[in-house]
Amino acid sequence: MLDVGAGPGFLEEQIPAIATDVDIDNLKKAKGPKVLCSGDALPFKDKSFDWVFCVDTVHLLKDIKDLERVGKTVVLTAFCNEHNYQEKFDWLKSLTKRKISKEMLLKAENEWDAAVVF
């Protein structure tokens, strides 16, 4: 599993993954294997990951071509709220030509995320 834009590695605290980020200070905090790189230039072979997660950082990428290139299944999330979640779903879905297999609205306390899986 690959976590693109891992920051300090919140996902890696829950499940084993390779953490990637452009911020070396944040990346040092992540557990497990880490690679300093941009989600726009991932140094991995095509389809080398069953799962690629990009949690709340897709807005920082030029496009998602490299996520699609290295991942068999990609999960994208974007911050949202009760007023704009449908707009966020539409935007996330517009980023890929792949068929969306699932879309989910994730809520935890006061934080909402729109998520799509393809």
The total number of structural domains that make up the chain: 1
Domain that holds residue 51: 2-117
CATH number at residue 102: 3.40.50.150
Q: Kindly report the pTM of this predicted structure.
A: 0.93
Instruction: Count how many Cα atoms sit within 13 Å of the Cα of residue 22 in the half-sphere of its side chain.
Output: 8
Taking the C-alpha atoms of residue 106 and residue 118, their distance in angstroms, rounded to an integer, is 17
Half-sphere exposure of 85 (CA within 13 A, CB side): 13
Apex 52 CA angle, 7 and 118, nearest 5: 130
Task: Report how far residue 112's alpha carbon sits from residue 93's, in angstroms, rounded to the nearest whole number.
Answer: 17
pLDDT in tens, the chain (118 residues): 999 999 999 999 999 999 999 999 999 999 999 999 999 999 999 999 999 999 999 999 999 999 999 999 999 999 999 999 999 999 999 999 999 999 999 998 888 999 999 9
Which segments of the chain are extended strands (E)? 2-4, 18-21, 34-36, 49-55, 71-80, 102-108, 111-117
CA distances from 73 to 2, 50, 110 (A): 11, 6, 28
The span from the CA of 51 to the CA of 99, in Å, is 15
pLDDT attached to residue 49: 98
CB 117 within 8 Å of CB 75: yes
